[in-house]
Each structure stands twice: as structure tokens, then as C-alpha cells.
A = this chain, B = another copy of it.
Amino acid sequence: MSEAVREPRQDRSRATRARLLAAAVDCLADVGWSGSTVSVVAERAGVSRGAAQHHFPTREDLFTAAIEYVTEERLAHMRDGLPNLPPGRDRIEYVVHAIGEMYSSKLFRAALQLWVAASSDDQLRAQVVPLEAQLGREAHRLTVAALGVDETRPGVRELVQATLDMARGLGLANLLTDDGKRRRRVLDQWASTLAAIVNDAPG
């Protein structure tokens, strides 16, 4: 087979795989873990059941890959959302709001479905826990860099963690109703508070 023929076929295969993974995330966010079967995902992706099973022979194969995909997408989403502002109040305000919105996205809802399913499914838990630990470390590192704060100052590390925990809680509060208005007020206040603390002269 010539390069010219093989390449498009590999591209198509890769595109099909990506479509299935994106559809798996959509399904998780919309209908939850128990409703997200390979058939449902394949139909949503516009891929035949046979083609879906060629890529992912079992439901576990599909969702193992989807978990990694969600993790990578959430990190990419976070990296892409980082602004290029000088350190200071404006940057902190921008980043705190960006983090709040990230945790209220479809990717968060999909991840939430996986966490909750994993809480009563040991096999799924064994897949989710290490990926979440990796995501947590990377999200923390990215957030410190994005905020432009000095983590060697006492308390700063914990306040960055508190910011991410708060964003996770706000994401959960947004699950059943649109909590955007309240969320923005809470994030506004927290951004001011955080900026006042980290912009103080070092103690």
C-alpha cells in the first residue's frame, strides 16, 4: 500500500476514534454512566456498531480510553484557558474566573459521572484514581503558574488548593440548575481576597 493510500486511512481511523471518545464524554455528561453503552455512544458518534467495536471491543475499553481522553482534554482546556497577563490583581481575577468556568463545563460533568460510578465499582475506581491524581497535580501546577503567585510563601499553596476545591464545589452546585450568577459573585469576591493576600509584601 502506498503512503498516499495508507495516510488517509490512518487519518480516518484516528478521526473515528476521536469521534467515539468525544461522543463517550457527551453521553456521560448527558445520560450518565449507566446509560452510556457502546451502542449509544456509537449512534451518537454516527459510527456503526461494528466500527465502534473494532476500536473498542468492550465497554471497559471505550471508557478507559474516554477517561484518559477526558483527563487530557481537561488539562488542554486548562492550559488553553491561561492568559498572558502580567502578575497581579487583573491576572488573578481572570484566572479565578477561568478556573470556575472550567469546573462548570461538560468535561467536569462527564468526569463527575465517572467519579460517582467509580465510587461503587472497584474496577472503574482502579482506572480513575491514578488519572485523577495526575490531573490534580497538573491542575495545581498550572494554576500556580497561571495565577503568577509564589508558592514558597506560607499559606499560598493551600490557598491555591482551596481555589481548586472551591471551583469543584461550584461545578457541583451547577449540576442541576444554572448557578452562573451566584458563581460569578463568589468568584469575584474570592479573586479580590486572594489578590489582596498574595500581593501583600511577603511576611
A31-B120, A169-B169, A172-B172 as given contacts; A158 in contact with B189, CB under 8 Å = yes
* Assembly CA distance A173 to B177 (angstroms): 21
Measured CB to CB, the residues of A under 8 A from B are: 30-32, 34-35, 109, 112-113, 115-120, 125, 128-129, 132-133, 155, 158-159, 161-162, 164-173, 175-177, 182, 185-186, 188-190, 192-193, 197
| Shortest distance between the CB of A196 and any CB in chain B (Å) | 9
A116 and B159 form a contact (CB under 8 A): no
Q: For residue A176, which residues in chain B have a CB less than 8 angstroms away from its CB? A: 115, 118-119, 125, 128-129, 132
B172 and A168 form a contact (CB under 8 A): yes
If over half of A's interface residues share one DSSP class (helix, strand or loop), that class is named, otherwise mixed; here it is helix
A117-B32, A120-B32 as given contacts; A165 in contact with B193, CB under 8 Å = no
Counting every copy of the chain, the complex holds 2
| Shortest distance between the CB of A180 and any CB in chain B (Å) | 13
| Shortest distance between the CB of A191 and any CB in chain B (Å) | 11
A32-B117, A32-B120 as given contacts; A165 in contact with B173, CB under 8 Å = yes
Which interface residue of A113, A118, A164, A172 has the most chain B CB atoms within 10 A?
A: A172
A118-B176, A166-B166 as given contacts; A193 in contact with B155, CB under 8 Å = yes
* Assembly CA distance A159 to B182 (angstroms): 12
* Assembly CA distance A193 to B166 (angstroms): 15
A165 and B189 form a contact (CB under 8 A): no
**Could you write out 23 A-B pairs with CB less than 8 Å apart?**
A32-B117, A32-B120, A34-B34, A35-B120, A109-B119, A115-B172, A115-B175, A116-B175, A119-B175, A125-B176, A129-B176, A158-B185, A158-B190, A159-B189, A159-B193, A161-B186, A162-B186, A162-B190, A164-B169, A166-B166, A168-B169, A169-B169, A172-B172
